Chain A
């Protein structure tokens, strides 16, 4: 299928394939170190990781294919892996298998061989296998499979040298290698049909430029949608005659054995594997220590009574860890950005340009980059839980609850991170949905996690609580937390019944053996996520910051007001004459007033006033609306914008805290306060989150949907509270 010559080829293309939890990423990190690059496969959200390494003057470009158990067309990950091997024709495919669980891991190997890929099998975790008393005869295994086999311990890098040597040797010999499919027998019912189909395919050169003939036949029997569709397009006639074979065989099998071709084919693959792994190749003896340890741990952490308690404790620790350690760095970021802002302010003359750079770009991007420390710590903690194997247990314990709402056990983490325990952040929350494989359950999770109480909503709550419920801080917070869960799960349930309709995807989940993750792996994992977020801040987030700034700045002041300020300025300078210090002080005061006047006249403020026609149903006046608009930049901004708006319209000019101002404001009372609290909790995610939603779903429409849908939900609930209270006479 493929021939490569080292002499005239300076770069070899190597693909890494393997099951989830086989140590594939560890091997990838070990081979490429920091020299890796993460992108997405065009049009879909599957990550494409590539890295480069060099050995004996040959450069190796390594692609880490998504972890899969199989190579069917059912999931995007599997299609991506399969298409890459077929279309990019890598010089060799390194198939990593867990030596302690060889039987199941070889299932993928068999399918790679069926596909005719040039495979090198890596037996990873040989140290654990040895500890567990598993003896593997490498030479015999290699001979039986007809491919090179390299034992390794990817965590420590043991066997890396040998692997690289084998790759170079293998690639220079591929021409001599017979990479065509090894003869696997699928039994007396299937083999003869397969032979006939293979002949037809060969005679007509039916897609044989891409795939081995027998493999095409096999896929027709397995009713592989991708291949059948391709076949229909290539040659309708041959395709339908192949389908006919498949149909007949299926009928025959249903009648005689009450089964179907796909099942028999799978049985024979496992049969082939058992034949390969006879006693002379693999020998189990003694005790299974690591696995017994896992069983012992599981007995406690998934125990019906103790399990949930331990889970809450662990999740709480993740929280404590993240927010305790990111608090200082977040402050440093803020200081850094205000320092830069002040610097620019002192260099550039006051005016639109200064305002754009300081208030638009630096403040906006600064607000978003302020999340970076949180993301770093949160993802470090999650990567740790994931790589140890504990996260799978969380999914196991909570699946039953989440399934009720049309979600999946794997949704749990996203909800908790986003603020399931008040104080999370929806940005890493949305990013954490990657463990969900099904797109509908995943999108339902992505769209509902922003309802949770993230850290940025907390200062808003604090001000309102201080103003209206000073004695009940904890109680109000508890109510808000419970309400967030209730509404988020209910909305997920509604979405799954309407827009995201579909049967639940199979849960079937591996509970991996507990392992201590490598520090290097954790760091790389964390850095990847963080970098993706930072890159986003440089593009879409920058654009939206500028837009929001423009809305709060333009169209500037009307002519008569401009004149008014100008006259005032001249008056100050002329009356105070030589008293420079006093002039400066008074001019600053004028400048402040001017800024507020500009804001008052801005599009944002006009929009806020226009919106009050609608928002009066939930009891909000225009100043609140402006603040909520500003909250789209970041929820903390609500407080600062409200502060500005309320102090501006205070004619007395008294300098009092916002919460006091609100408690005295005739437009505010405890009903409005509740409506406002619930609105802030539910309405549009901040734009950093929206950007993440767009990135994670790969579609703009879900970002826009989340803005509109969440705001609509918020409006409904706030109106319900306000009008309901009015109706029962609380107002």
Chain B
């Protein structure tokens, strides 16, 4: 099942399927290696639940929820 990254739970794993952002945001997302086919894992969220921290390609990065909205991730189960 494919969901936007914002909806992922803490410690949930998934594979990026699509990045819908264009322009500078799209470019920065790609520069940091968030391209389709890349496995990621949500590490946690900041005290105010935004931004989100993820693990990807052997390193950690953080992005705002409204940036994570542009990234669709295939997850096994939404943990519902």
Report if B67 contacts A (CB, 8 A).
yes
Q: Which bracket fits the contact residues of B?
A: 20 to 34
Q: A107-B33, A400-B46 are in contact. Are A263 and B62 (CB under 8 A)?
A: no
Within the complex, the shortest CB–CB distance from A298 to chain B, in Å, comes to: 7
Report if A540 contacts B (CB, 8 A).
no
Q: Which residue of B lies closest to A398 (CB)?
A: B46
Within the complex, the shortest CB–CB distance from A508 to chain B, in Å, comes to: 5
Within the complex, the shortest CB–CB distance from B2 to chain A, in Å, comes to: 14
Q: Which residue of B lies closest to A70 (CB)?
A: B31
B24 touches A74 (CB 8 A): yes
CB contact list, A391-414 vs B, under 8 A? 392, 396-397, 399-401, 403, 409
CB contact list, B12-36 vs A, under 8 A? 19, 22, 24-33, 35-36
Kindly state the separation between the CA atoms of A508 and B22 in the bound complex, as whole angstroms.
Answer: 14
A74 touches B27 (CB 8 A): yes
Kindly state the separation between the CA atoms of A509 and B34 in the bound complex, as whole angstroms.
Answer: 12
B60 touches A510 (CB 8 A): yes
A508 touches B67 (CB 8 A): yes
B51 touches A69 (CB 8 A): no
Stretch of A96-104, A574-582, A588-596 lying at the B interface? A96-104
Within the complex, the shortest CB–CB distance from B10 to chain A, in Å, comes to: 10
A510 touches B44 (CB 8 A): no
B22 touches A509 (CB 8 A): no
B62 touches A511 (CB 8 A): yes
Number of interface residues of A (CB under 8 A): 43
- A401 contacts across to B, CB distance below 8 A: 48
- A396 contacts across to B, CB distance below 8 A: 46, 51, 53, 62
Report if A506 contacts B (CB, 8 A).
yes
B30 touches A266 (CB 8 A): yes
Report if B64 contacts A (CB, 8 A).
yes
A104 touches B57 (CB 8 A): yes
Q: A70-B27, A295-B43, A302-B44 are in contact. Are A510 and B35 (CB under 8 A)?
A: no
Kindly state the separation between the CA atoms of A409 and B46 in the bound complex, as whole angstroms.
Answer: 11
- A507 contacts across to B, CB distance below 8 A: 51, 62-64, 67
Within the complex, the shortest CB–CB distance from A149 to chain B, in Å, comes to: 19
Q: A107-B31, A508-B29 are in contact. Are A101 and B58 (CB under 8 A)?
A: yes
B28 touches A103 (CB 8 A): no
Q: Which residue of B lies closest to A395 (CB)?
A: B62
A510 touches B61 (CB 8 A): yes
Within the complex, the shortest CB–CB distance from B12 to chain A, in Å, comes to: 16
Per-residue CB proximity of A97-118 to B under 8 Å, as 1/0?
Answer: 0001101100100000000000
- B19 contacts across to A, CB distance below 8 A: 263
Kindly state the separation between the CA atoms of A69 and B59 in the bound complex, as whole angstroms.
Answer: 14
Q: A263-B30, A396-B62 are in contact. Are A302 and B53 (CB under 8 A)?
A: yes
Report if A304 contacts B (CB, 8 A).
yes
Q: Which residue of B lies closest to A511 (CB)?
A: B60
Report if B79 contacts A (CB, 8 A).
no
Kindly state the separation between the CA atoms of A406 and B48 in the bound complex, as whole angstroms.
Answer: 17
CB contact list, B37-80 vs A, under 8 A? 38, 43-51, 53, 57-64, 67
A101 touches B62 (CB 8 A): no
A397 touches B46 (CB 8 A): yes
- A260 contacts across to B, CB distance below 8 A: 22
B58 touches A100 (CB 8 A): yes
- A304 contacts across to B, CB distance below 8 A: 45, 47
Report if A291 contacts B (CB, 8 A).
yes
Report if A513 contacts B (CB, 8 A).
yes
Report if A72 contacts B (CB, 8 A).
yes
A294 touches B33 (CB 8 A): no
Within the complex, the shortest CB–CB distance from B29 to chain A, in Å, comes to: 7
- A101 contacts across to B, CB distance below 8 A: 57-59
Report if A139 contacts B (CB, 8 A).
no
A291 touches B62 (CB 8 A): no
Q: Which one of A69, A267, A506 has the greatest number of beta carbons of chain B within 10 Å?
A: A506
Which of B26, B44, B50 is A298 in contact with, Cβ under 8 Å?
Answer: B44
A508 touches B61 (CB 8 A): yes
- A513 contacts across to B, CB distance below 8 A: 59-60
- A334 contacts across to B, CB distance below 8 A: none
Within the complex, the shortest CB–CB distance from A474 to chain B, in Å, comes to: 28
Kindly state the separation between the CA atoms of A723 and B48 in the bound complex, as whole angstroms.
Answer: 40
Within the complex, the shortest CB–CB distance from A118 to chain B, in Å, comes to: 23
- A646 contacts across to B, CB distance below 8 A: none
A399 touches B61 (CB 8 A): no
Q: A263-B30, A267-B35 are in contact. Are A505 and B62 (CB under 8 A)?
A: no
Kindly state the separation between the CA atoms of A262 and B51 in the bound complex, as whole angstroms.
Answer: 26
Report if A307 contacts B (CB, 8 A).
yes
- A512 contacts across to B, CB distance below 8 A: 59-60
Within the complex, the shortest CB–CB distance from B68 to chain A, in Å, comes to: 10
A506 touches B25 (CB 8 A): yes
- B45 contacts across to A, CB distance below 8 A: 304
- A291 contacts across to B, CB distance below 8 A: 58
A270 touches B33 (CB 8 A): yes
A-B contact pairs, 7 of them (CB 8 A): A104-B57, A107-B31, A266-B31, A307-B47, A396-B53, A400-B48, A513-B59
A residues with a Cβ closer than 8 A to B are 69-70, 72, 74, 100-101, 103-104, 107, 260, 262-263, 266-267, 270, 288, 291, 294-295, 298-299, 302, 304-305, 307-308, 392, 396-397, 399-401, 403, 409, 505-513
Known A-B contacts: A262-B30, A400-B48. Give 16 more (CB < 8 A): A74-B24, A100-B58, A101-B57, A104-B59, A107-B33, A262-B22, A298-B53, A304-B47, A307-B47, A308-B47, A396-B51, A400-B49, A507-B67, A508-B61, A509-B63, A511-B62
The 7 closest A-B pairs by CB, nearest first: A400-B48, A266-B30, A511-B60, A69-B31, A70-B31, A104-B33, A507-B64
